[in-house]
Chains A and B, each alone.
Chain A
Amino acid sequence: MKITLTINGERREVDASPWKRLLDLVREDLRLTGTKEGCGEGECGACSVMLDGEVVNSCLVAAGQCDGRTVTTVEGLAHGDVLHAVQRELVACGGAQCGICTPGIAVCAAHVVDRGLIRGKNDHEARETVRALLAGNICRCTGYQLIVDAVVNAARETR
């Protein structure tokens, strides 16, 4: 079927099976390979993208469901050469190692930071909130501390 969607601000039209995963549509048809496949079961969050303003696992969305919708992938977080605060802080804090989970973490973190969801009376509460909001993004390298540092910093800058 013909699927028209707005991806990272650009209108694109692709011809694909409605059963194709949004993940594959993004990587194969739209050639945006920043989004990674982790588990393919909705457990790890590596393939997170924003769909109509919510963070979703793109391995669990059928391409047909994206017709007429708006998708933002990790490629759409920066404005030109200016990184999103979350991306900048992930670099600054060293919140990335092998890189497979990083795009999904950047997307989910950018969403929760931009929505102002990271609250807390103090640093401890803010960190707990980040951990809860990012609980759907699994990282097997870093142990999360540096990722949490980055997201808390980004939230503070954005406030």
Chain B
Amino acid sequence: MSSAYIRPRSLAEALDAKAQHPDWMVLAGGTDLMVNATHRPEPAGILDLWRLPELRGVTMTDVLTIGAGTTWLEVEHHAAVLERFGPLAAAAREIGALQIQARGTLGGNVGTSSPVGDSLPVLLAFDAELELASAARGRRRIPYREFCTGYRKTQLAADELIVAAHLRPPATRTRTTWRKVGTRRAQSISKVMGAAFIELDGDVVTRARVALGAVADRPIRIAAVEQAVTGLALGAKAAEAARAALRSAIKPIDDVRSTATYRRDVAENLVARFFS
């Protein structure tokens, strides 16, 4: 039996379909869900959200809003993203390569919430808020830090869809940064990646948000590092404090892509560099 297929023309139609068929695959660019498709069981149905107009596009008001169906190619070329959300543009440019960036979407990265989702540490560092919707209960907002609750587990209800992410722009005295480490710049899945959002008074850290991917069962904020560096001036001392605080805060694993030891070393170097 071949899959049923619906391509809704509006978000309202999509939410109705999601409520009626909570078990169907929600598909956008397919860069994750279609991998090895011929070796996967055919889904009962496909709810195709690719290019649904209400989920598409980037807008900048007092916050940056990215529709869940916006591709990484669209994100990385948007003027406001380039100007004020450097780490997001950087992460978008390092997701796969041209072919993947043309299809992969923000909603896909968020919905899967893999520990190696490249945009996710950026969402955590910017303390992004997700907008979710269902036919029965309308819209709600939830910080991304509360959304992902375990290995590929999220707070998304069976009848809900991800609509958008909202990010507040940094104030002037803020250092934001992003770094990915993998075997190759393009196409390789990260061994470790991280982002930081560091608010400064002169050189002194007044508040920091630090997030890493591929060091735990989900993308995580590193509260121990954030606390350790607050009140310190950027430089060798802050870098060392960040490195020391990280040690007990992460639980990287050995897998085909890297080893726990290597990931730990790289993660320490990343946070140290963020505060150098």
Q: Residues on A close to B: CB < 8 A?
A: 1, 17-19, 21, 24, 40-43, 45, 48, 54-57, 59-62, 64-65, 67, 108, 112, 132-138
Q: Which residues of B contact A42 (CB under 8 A)?
A: 31, 34-35, 96, 99-100
Q: Which residues of B contact A108 (CB under 8 A)?
A: 98-99
Given A1-B5, A65-B50, A136-B187, residue A56 in contact with residue B34 (CB < 8 A): no
Given A17-B42, A56-B103, residue A64 in contact with residue B97 (CB < 8 A): no
CB-based contact B5/A61 at 8 Å: no
Residue from the list A65, A67, A134, A136 in contact with B100, Cβ < 8 A: A136
A-facing mask of B95-118, CB < 8 A → 1, else 0? Answer: 011111011000000000000000
Q: Which residues of A contact B248 (CB under 8 A)?
A: none
User: A133 to B219, alpha carbons, bound, how many Å?
Assistant: 28
Q: Which residues of A contact B46 (CB under 8 A)?
A: 18-19, 62, 64
Task: Give the interface SS of chain B, mostly helix, strand, loop or mixed.
Answer: loop
Residue from the list A40, A132, A134 in contact with B36, Cβ < 8 A: A40
User: A120 to B27, alpha carbons, bound, how many Å?
Assistant: 37
User: A41 to B39, alpha carbons, bound, how many Å?
Assistant: 11
Residue from the list A1, A17, A57 in contact with B99, Cβ < 8 A: A57
User: A65 to B28, alpha carbons, bound, how many Å?
Assistant: 9
Check: B136 CB closer than 8 A to any chain A CB.
no
Interface footprint category on B: 20 to 34
Q: For residue B4, which residue of chain A has the nearest CB?
A: A18
Check: B92 CB closer than 8 A to any chain A CB.
no
Most buried by B among A54, A133, A134: A54
Offer 13 A-B interface pairs, CB within 8 angstroms, sorted by A: A18-B2, A18-B46, A19-B46, A21-B34, A40-B36, A54-B102, A57-B100, A59-B34, A60-B35, A64-B48, A65-B48, A135-B97, A135-B185
Q: What's the count of A-B pairs with C-beta under 8 Å? A: 99
Most buried by B among A24, A43, A132: A43
Most buried by B among A62, A135, A136: A62
Most buried by B among A19, A56, A137: A19
Check: B172 CB closer than 8 A to any chain A CB.
no
CB-based contact B103/A61 at 8 Å: yes
Q: For residue A44, which residue of chain B has the nearest CB?
A: B187
Q: For residue A1, which residue of chain B has the nearest CB?
A: B5
Query: Would you list which residues of chain B between 1 and 44 have a CB under 8 Å from chain A?
Result: 2-5, 7, 27, 29-31, 34-38, 42-43
Q: How many Å from the CB of B186 to the closest CB on chain A?
A: 3
Given A17-B3, A45-B99, A133-B98, residue A61 in contact with residue B43 (CB < 8 A): no
CB-based contact B30/A40 at 8 Å: no
Q: Which residues of A contact B37 (CB under 8 A)?
A: 19, 21, 40, 59-60, 62
Q: Which residues of B contact A1 (CB under 8 A)?
A: 2, 5
Q: Which residues of B contact A67 (CB under 8 A)?
A: 7
Extra A-B contacts (15), CB below 8 Å, given A19-B3, A64-B7, A136-B100: A18-B46, A19-B46, A21-B38, A40-B36, A48-B99, A55-B99, A55-B102, A57-B100, A60-B35, A61-B30, A62-B46, A64-B5, A65-B30, A134-B97, A138-B187
User: A40 to B27, alpha carbons, bound, how many Å?
Assistant: 18
